[in-house]
Amino acid sequence: MRGTTITLAAPPTRIISLVPSVTELIFALGAEDRLVGITDYCDFPPEARRKPSVGGMVSPSLETIVALRPDVVVATDSGNRQETFGQLRRLGIPVYLVRANRFAEVMDVASRIGQLTGREQVVAPLTARLRARVDAVAHAVSRHPRPRVLYVLWPEPLIVPGRDAIVTELIQLAGGESITAGEPSDYPRFSIEAAVVRAPHVIVLARHGAGTGALTRDKWDALTALPAVKAGRIYAVDGNLLHRYGPRVVDGLEHLARLFHPEAFR
């Protein structure tokens, strides 16, 4: 997906995924028998935990990767380090890079992983179901006014989705208008002062990881002049549904749409 050609001696039967989104896709495509290694963050589906871990996304264990004898490592330049790619290539291990900042690119990743795993015939039905659900959401919210939305990816420092983030498009598809959609890059820093000036109607707080609670909302509740606070529209969401670009991203989209427009989903 980054314009680099890699050549494999044969269809890969031993794949390591350094990307939780890709791990989810491989299972959704029924190709988990080819998956021989994952990261500590690859926690869905639950069966993924049974696969050997190579460590974190930022600094995976090269020794473990080599010991697992992969035919290819699937990685991303949005979460893994360039240094890791270089080390793997010097060891003679092919690296296949993916990334998705838009829903169309999610479909592209699914197609490419389907080809890589020999599960091309499963891709079309899967992506057709996902597209149908996205279309249903878009139709349901199309007749309703768009609320201004502040999505909080991280509280300190305040991190929000910018113009290159998939979350920004998901907010749009769900019938909202992200107040940070024009910010540069994918997940830039933002200020509370700027958020107050833009007066969001809805505030969405992302939580991270299994078993974690919602991000603290005390500082937002204190901003009583905000339309979102006045209306009691501060919500918590599972960030894994919206920050990853596996099949569950549509679950996240549907959840956002119901938060923004409960009247459209009686």
Each residue of 210-225: pLDDT tens digit?
555 556 788 888 999 9
pLDDT for 115-144, tens place per residue? Answer: 999 999 999 999 999 999 999 999 999 999
Domains of the chain: 15-124 (3.40.50.1980), 145-264 (3.40.50.1980)
pTM, entire model = 0.92
pLDDT for 188-216, tens place per residue? Answer: 999 999 999 999 999 999 987 655 555 67
- Identity of residue 196: V
- Using a 10 angstrom Cβ sphere, with 0-12 exposed, 13-18 middle and 19 or more buried, the burial of residue 195 is buried
> Do 29 and 23 meet the contact criterion of CB atoms below 8 Å apart?
no
> Do 142 and 174 meet the contact criterion of CB atoms below 8 Å apart?
no
